[in-house]
Amino acid sequence: MLNLNHLRIFYHAAKNQNFTAAAKELFITQPAVSAQIKSFENDCSLTFFKKRGRKVHLTDEGYNLYEYSKKIFEYEHLIENAIEEMRELKCGLLRLGTTKAYARYFMPFMISTFRDKYPEIKIQLDEGSSLEMIHSLLSFRNEVAVIARAEDHPDVKFIPFTQEEIILIVSPNHPFAKRGSVSVQDLAKESIIMKELGSGTRKRINELFASCGLTPDVLMETGNAEFIKQLVQRGEGISFIVKEAVRTELKEKTLATAKIEGRRIDLDVSVAYLKNQHLSPPAKAFLTMLDMLEPKDLTLKGIGTLMAQMLAARKRKAEMMKDIKRKTK
């Protein structure tokens, strides 16, 4: 088997064609270089150097081996650089999972903030139900997930991030739109367009009906929030969705809402990752970024407040950079 230590010493000696220079580069003595080269030649049953006076010259065999060894140590240098770049987050991959709604409405702001700081890191964003994203962590497809806590798992750590309000949405022409509040019994009489099984929203709505001993009349189930909104706007049924996802429609009055009597439905959103498993530098950096956003202070305010804070911070940074440019002119 090839002795890489011998090969390294040979490479430096061949590159310099001088054992003393090789010794200085390797921080060993010149006699140690000579002894290692002799041992290497004996192991290979070949002669790689010819000596004349104090000078050494490569044999044909030595020249051929040098050409091969040069490629090895050039790659070693590239590998060392790659390792350093990964440590310093100058390259790498962040494998991130989230729900379809969060991917559309919230993740762009988080990802933009992350990329502002780590522009060389590539991001792979995976979408699915909260339950699917938990399974994606367990199968190592993703490292971090921003999801509703749809199901506990002993191998997954959940860190509370925000708390989102789930609201009832109806067509502006629906009778509920003209009422201040409706009962759960009223809701049970309606056709409901439900989020898919495995979503945090579906779990919370099922719990709402179960608490009253009722079963919802599910007309359809889908994970596509935009499709849900379109169907509700056309009066095909009612639905439940995170408030932040329909803020624009409520403002423009293309959708309406009504309170549920004596109830407020909150969705706990968490950052999830595997317990007792190594996290890559990009994943650690993403978690650090989220921690710096002070989620504990925002738990009851929802991700809309978080987005506003992030946008304000980016605006302040842009203004600061403009001031610096003006002052340096």
- φ and ψ of 218, to 5 deg: -85, 110
CA distance 133 to 149: 10
DSSP 131: H
285 in the same domain as 152: yes
Which of 227, 251, 267 terminates a domain? The answer is 267
Q: Is 166 within 8 Å of 201 (Cβ atoms)?
A: yes
> pTM for this structure?
0.71
Is position 25 within any domain? Answer: yes
Residue count (the chain): 329
What pLDDT does residue 152 have? 85
* CA dist 92 → 103, 280, 281, 296 (Å): 21, 9, 8, 29
200 in the same domain as 115: no
190 in the same domain as 175: yes
125 in the same domain as 198: no
Provide the residue range defining the domain that includes 117. Answer: 93-161+271-324
Which of 68, 87, 106 terminates a domain? The answer is 87
What pLDDT does residue 299 have? 45
What pLDDT does residue 203 have? 92
Q: What is the pLDDT along the chain (329 residues), one digit of tens a residue?
A: 788 899 999 999 999 999 999 999 999 999 999 999 999 999 999 999 998 877 889 999 999 999 999 999 999 999 988 888 888 888 899 999 998 888 887 888 888 889 989 999 999 999 999 999 999 999 999 999 999 888 889 999 999 888 889 999 999 999 999 998 999 999 999 999 999 988 999 999 999 999 999 999 999 999 888 999 999 999 999 999 999 889 999 999 999 999 999 999 998 889 999 998 899 999 999 999 888 765 444 444 555 555 555 555 556 666 666 666 666 66
**In 3-state terms, what secondary structure has residue 270?**
strand
168 in the same domain as 42: no
Amino acid residing at 325: K
73 in the same domain as 98: no
Q: Is 216 within 8 Å of 188 (Cβ atoms)?
A: yes
* CA dist 209 → 91, 125, 202, 206 (Å): 48, 33, 11, 5
CA distance 253 to 259: 16
CA distance 243 to 258: 12
**In 3-state terms, what secondary structure has residue 216?**
coil
What pLDDT does residue 308 have? 57
User: Could you give the number of structural domains in the chain?
Assistant: 3
